[in-house]
Structure 1
Amino acid sequence: MSEPDRAPSGFADLSRSELAILVPELLLSGHLIDRSGMAHSIAAFGREGMAEVAIEEWQVASPVYTRRMQRALGFTGDGVETIFKGLQLDIGAPPQFMDFRYRVHDHRHGEFWLDHCGALADVEPMGESYVRSMCHDIEDPTFDATALATNPHAQVRPIHRPPRVPADRHPVCAWTVVIDDSHVPPPVPANFETVARSQAAQVVLDPIDPLDPGLGDYAGPLLSDLRFGDFSRSALIRMADEVCLQHHLLTLGFLIAVGARAEDAAAADIGRRQFAGIAGLTAERLRLALGLGDDDAALAQVLRRHPAWNPLCYTGVRVDHAEIGVRVRIPKRSGAMTDKVWPALIDATHLAPLDAMARGVNPRFTVHVIDDTDDELAVGFLLAEKPFAESGEVAITRFSTGANFQFADRGIPLPLTVI
């Protein structure tokens, strides 16, 4: 077994309360990947091409990571309750920002609606054509792709959805989920097997310790909201690593879709821009969520928790902090390098995503190469005299209302399972 395979979780030294803060942050970060990626897709391929990229990336990624989370948290099944539990732990539906509400009628019938949709808040100012692209063109095939991970005969269909009439219609949308053996499953997307056989899909993470205080699974009733602090520390570590894999799997789908539409150099440039935009905003939110400062110690903490570098058994990335400063070591052989996801987009001449991460902690940080060998790229960070201007990629991602979104304590969640 290689060294990266034996790496402990990058979240293993966090407390249960810190992890309960971190997991919803990671879910929101995963959702905001598209605020960065789709902006550059529009520039390269137009609105219709952007919609095609979004459909393809979610179709190939969401069934893979949905099944992973079901197995990890012990809620495998073939009914609507299992579908809804999966959505609660899906970067496509981060809690509160995408405020899904659920109703289960029976094993094969249910409804959900959104009391708040952060994605719609981002897109409505862009006009009706973009709303239709998201709420019609993209949602129809991708909702079904997520549901069929649980049951191939599940169909998600709208009761109503945007464009909103009247303009302040609430809830913003509502959908039925029906499982019927007569439903014909949609065709398997062209690149699904590539993602399903990826290194990210095959990563084996540490099992949840059943003796750890708190909930060790989600095998109980469907809850109106997940209160992450109710889960055990071990379960939260597993969730965090699984959510980071969702980031990588979605990015893999994105890069495959972009690569089918652009020459290699142009596709890599779009990938790096997507990476830089979400890298910087995520670093900033992680720093604030964990109550960190803006010095080297804070930078090291943020880099260790960043989804780009986790799970460690997949990326092999090391973050060291010593008197000489913070060092990041990116191995040139790892599962992430094989899949050609985020770490593979970094080299000695393409460091913008690392600059963006560091400047999410302190705008004066700048990255520099320490060593570049056949085995690894090692970089360090220095403080410049004056702060750098925010990069265009981060500024684009900050367009989302998710940039400043605040999670709220909703108290004790209600069970929704039909008795």
Structure 2
Amino acid sequence: MSAFDQLDRATLARLLPELLLCGHLIDRSGMAHCIGAFGRPGMTAVAIEEWQVASPVYTRRMRRALRIEGDGVDTIFKGLQLDIGAPPQFMDFRYRVEDHDHGEFWLDHCGALLDVEPMGPEFVVAMCHDVEDPTFDATALATNPYAQVRPIHRPPRTPADRHPMCAWTVTIDPSHVPPPVPPNSELVANSAAALLDLPDIDPADEGQSDYAGPLLSDLRFDDFSKSALVRMADEVCLQHHLLTLGFLIAVRARTDQAADIGRKQFAGIAGITSERLRAALDLDDDPAALATVLRLHPAWNPLPYTGIEITETADSVSVRLPRDSGAVADGVWPALLDADHLAPLEAMARGVNPRSYVRAVAADRSGWSAEIALAAQPFREATEVAITRFSKGAGFAFADRGIPLPLTVV
């Protein structure tokens, strides 16, 4: 069962880039609060740790789902195309494959860099050197343990408008000694999110059911079947949760205020994501629209992981959260909410209608419920949402790039 089954194929194709981009923006919310709590060095360490433990897990999941086989650089690049770390166009990865063991990628547009450059060269170095070196390798190693990702050039940019913004080689060399497995990797690899079973893609469904063919310059989601798009959407939502799990593990190791930081991270990305989903689906701001956005919000998906229930009336929406679910067991976003901590849900609702307010209405042994209704006047935007809106990704618009070209060397 998937919440995305309710959508037609064209709508799902439009939604997939949104889910990938919103996953990328999780760090625009979370890292701001880590800077406040731990300073720039501590923030950098958290970013490294969360991506190192999360990206190999969800890369392997997506490869299995879409029958992405092999262990060459083209397979590594396919994984990047379906990674919240590299959402299409906003992080405009371009690829060149020389052979099984050699390739390059570069970024013609890096939204993350454009967000960070105004903060100064120290933050640019932290992102483009300190974070990228171990995390690019971690993602590549999920496909081949002998893969290495190394810079050709990278920011700080000289000259200031240098394009491409960065460029990297990927080399597979059997003499390469893989780095040690990062601490806490097993916690994430054995999480409910990592081990969740989802329905297989129906190969008889109209459209492309896998990505077993050649590497393409861009993924055109319209070419995939509805069954494939539903599975991809659920997998991308799991990427959100796995990254958040890595984030919370890293934060908990540094402070006893991890739940508070996690809720702030959740609130910031929850509001921006609701806004983007509403716009992408061209919805109104009434309770029916809110119910639709909530049902599709990555915080509440996949349904077998969260167990969330959304119901609506003419003037309100009810959210039922179970006490027993994979998401609660993992301690990710749904586990951070209770009757005394509703700010993330408020931010989520106000991304659809700024007049939304939330109150807890019922609780029992199996779960608890909150009701969302409308006040007479709009509420002021939450600080956490305003911080996340700093990213140019909050207002980024995708473009139709036409038919992609195959890149794999034959």
* 2:55 matches 1:62: yes
In the other structure, the counterpart of 1:4 is none
In the other structure, the counterpart of 1:102 is 95
In the other structure, the counterpart of 1:406 is 397
Give me the identity figure in percent.
73
Conservation of the 8 A alpha-carbon contact between 1:348 and 1:372: no
Please state how far the C-alpha of 1:324 moved relative to its aligned partner. Answer: 5.8
Distance in 1, matches of 2:189 and 2:70, equals 20
- Secondary structure of 1:177's counterpart equals strand
In the other structure, the counterpart of 1:141 is 134
Which of the numbers 177, 181, 184 marks the counterpart of 1:184? 177
5 Å-filtered alignment, 1:3-402, equals 8-263=1-256, 266-323=257-314, 325-402=316-393
Distance in 2, matches of 1:346 and 1:374, equals 16
The letter for the 2-side match of 1:16 is R
Conservation of the 8 A alpha-carbon contact between 2:357 and 2:373: yes
- Secondary structure of 2:25's counterpart equals helix
- Secondary structure of 1:361's counterpart equals coil
Please give the root-mean-square deviation of Cα atoms over the aligned residues, in Å. Answer: 0.6
Which 4+ residue blocks in structure 1 deviate beyond 3 angstroms? none
Distance in 2, matches of 1:314 and 1:243, equals 13
Distance in 2, matches of 1:150 and 1:260, equals 29
Distance in 1, matches of 2:44 and 2:175, equals 29
- Secondary structure of 1:277's counterpart equals helix
Conservation of the 8 A alpha-carbon contact between 1:351 and 1:367: yes
Distance in 2, matches of 1:190 and 1:222, equals 32
The letter for the 1-side match of 2:81 is Q
Please state how far the C-alpha of 1:89 moved relative to its aligned partner. Answer: 0.1
Please state how far the C-alpha of 1:77 moved relative to its aligned partner. Answer: 1.4
Q: Write the deviation string for residues 30-84 of structure 1: whole angstroms up to 9, x where unpaired.
A: 0000000000000000000000000000000000000000000001211000000
Comparing 352-361 with 369-378, greater Cα deviation is found at: 369-378
Distance in 1, matches of 2:103 and 2:77, equals 9
Comparing 251-260 with 316-325, greater Cα deviation is found at: 316-325
Comparing 127-136 with 375-384, greater Cα deviation is found at: 375-384
Distance in 2, matches of 1:77 and 1:269, equals 42
Distance in 2, matches of 1:374 and 1:346, equals 16
- Secondary structure of 2:373's counterpart equals strand
Distance in 2, matches of 1:247 and 1:120, equals 21
Conservation of the 8 A alpha-carbon contact between 2:287 and 2:313: no
**TM-score using structure 2 length:** 0.99
Please state how far the C-alpha of 1:322 moved relative to its aligned partner. Answer: 2.9
- Secondary structure of 2:4's counterpart equals coil
Q: Write the deviation string for residues 172-220 of structure 1: whole angstroms up to 9, x where unpaired.
A: 0000000000011011011000000000000000110111111000001
Distance in 2, matches of 1:247 and 1:380, equals 25
- Secondary structure of 1:114's counterpart equals strand
Distance in 2, matches of 1:319 and 1:219, equals 36
The letter for the 2-side match of 1:407 is F
Q: Write the deviation string for residues 304-356 of structure 1: whole angstroms up to 9, x where unpaired.
A: 00000000000000111234621110000000000000000000000000000
The letter for the 1-side match of 2:68 is F
Aligned length: 410
Distance in 2, matches of 1:314 and 1:382, equals 26
In the other structure, the counterpart of 1:5 is none
The letter for the 2-side match of 1:81 is D
Distance in 2, matches of 1:194 and 1:77, equals 26
- Secondary structure of 2:104's counterpart equals strand
The letter for the 1-side match of 2:45 is E
